[in-house]
Amino acid sequence: MYGIPRVIFVPGQGLGTYDWSDHTIIIPAFPVGGNDKSVSYALGTFRWDSDEDRKLKTPYEQQIKENRKKSLLALAASFYKDYSLWMTKEKRGYRILPRETHKVFVSMFTVRAED
């Protein structure tokens, strides 16, 4: 959207997030659930908020049955959680996500050769 966001560490406890108004990834000094989880949540919020072309939002909402009836906030929170699991567990070989969600993430994040 605006290039690579800056990253700042803030005092406090919680999960990382993305501040779209300042184009900043915010990581708490004392992350809940570990550094990997906190950073992956921050990256998930960044990817969701910067998806102006809806290349992530549309398939995530329309191709996963349980997401079709969710509000925008519930959909975003669900994406952050699933993205964190994808980055921290699935990429290491553990099958955590439901089959339907796993297939959508594979289609969204698989590197494709240019034609």
Three-state SS string over the chain comes to: CCCCCEEEEEEEEECCEEECCCCEEEEEEEECCCHHHHHHHHHHHHHHHCCCCCCCHHHHHHCCHHHCCCCHHHHHHHHHHHHHHHHHCHHHCCCCCCHHHHHHHHHHHCCCCCC
Q: Give the model confidence (pLDDT) of 53-99 as tens digits.
A: 999 999 999 999 999 999 999 999 999 999 999 999 988 889 999 99
Q: How confident is the model at residue 115 (pLDDT cuts 50, 70, 90)?
A: very low
Query: Looking at residue 1, what is its pLDDT?
Result: 52
Q: Which pTM was predicted? A: 0.87
Q: How confident is the model at residue 103 (pLDDT cuts 50, 70, 90)?
A: very high
